[in-house]
Amino acid sequence: MIKVGIVGGTGYTGVELLRLLAQHPEVEVEAITSRSEAGVRVCDMYPNLRGHYDALAFSEPDPRRLGACDAVFFATPHGVAHALAGELLAQGTRVIDLSADFRLRDAQVWAEWYGQPHGAPELLDEAVYGLPEMHRAHIRQARLVAVPGCYPTAVQLGLLPLLEAGLIDPGHLVADCKSGVTGAGRGAKVPSLLAEASESMKAYGASGHRHLPEIRQGLGDAAGGPVGLTFVPHLTPMIRGIHATLYGRLQGDPGDLQALFERRFADEPFVDVMPAGSHPETRSVKGANVCRLAVHRPAGGDTVVVLSVIDNLVKGASGQAVQNLNLMFGFAENAGLAAPALMP
């Protein structure tokens, strides 16, 4: 049994961590922080957790208390983990950061996209990008893991087999992605109001989204060099879910694409390659730490289309964070993550 802390427990990813860890046989949540809600019991803020965390209350961040934990999750806005991660690592605590603070290897690129200097550039060389399907061995040894974003997870998993095999032109990739409203966070914002987001769909960030350099970095690793990517996210009127429609231009005869995907993910517990001709739905992954994929070659032409769906709060955030925790501490990779998706 290990003890973990959660910094920033009042957002959607924080409560999702609590929900998943309540089922984890090897984890006890020792501390959960919130400056604005200090003293409030978790079960009073989140009645769905009554009977699971009745004695746990939010508290002010205390580096000594957090440093006594075996691992600490950061479910915070960007910039927060910069200030505390180094201090916790010095105390022997392993850090799993759900924000973007350590995802990009280049501090200057991070500063350009996030509008402020990187607060802990000395830790970037140590940070491991927490996409298990690419970096499982490194995650097992890591002290600091950067959990991928939701869009980057769906896009990278969908294009990995094609780029690794050199079957598509890396200079002309397209990712047309849709997200549920929880992707915008729990803060009160006018665009997230029911009357604003319901019965409508819109693109945003078409000229440049913060996840773009992260996706490029990961796809470049898979391709063995720089990639050209057009990435357009959209807001859809649903609570949870990411749907990524991915396009690549084939180079020569690709052979059996279905078999390629099935081979690549045969040993991956949280990637489901669906039967040929399938069209995965976001509701099929709701609440589950699963990415479901389908690969198509329309009319046998030179374009390949990959459909990739995840729950943005689970495989796109908190579930993937728990999956990383399991690898770091030698637990079964599906510990706390074995529940099927919710239907309907």
State whether the Cα torsion 61-62-67-70 is positive or negative: negative
Task: With beta carbons less than 8 A apart as the criterion, state whether 251 and 166 touch.
Answer: yes
150-164 helix and 257-264 helix, angle to the nearest 10 degrees: 120
Q: Which of 43, 69, 150, 291 is catalytic?
A: 150
Q: Are 292 and 285 in contact (CB under 8 A)?
A: yes
* 285 within 8 A of 309, measured Cβ to Cβ: yes
Other C-beta atoms lying within 10 Å of the C-beta of residue 115 = 9
Other CB atoms within a 10 A radius of the CB of residue 63 amount to 15
CA neighbor of 97 nearest in space, from 71, 58, 62:
71
Helix or strand (DSSP H, E) at 309: strand 303-310
Give the other-Cβ count within 10 Å of 302's Cβ: 15
Cα(9)–Cα(35) distance, integer angstroms: 10
Residue with tokens 């409203």: 181
Query: How far is 317 from 16, CA to CA, in rounded Å?
Result: 9
| 69 annotated active-site | no
Q: How many Cβ atoms sit within 10 Å of the Cβ of residue 255?
A: 10
Largest CA distance in the chain: 62
Report cis status (omega within 30 of 0) of the bond before 340.
no
Q: What is the DSSP letter of 148?
A: P
Is-contact 107 121, C-beta < 8 A? yes
Tokens of 169: 């032109």
Token code pair at residue 327? 């690898």
CA 256/CA 67 separation, integer angstroms: 50
Indicate which residues carry an active-site annotation: 150
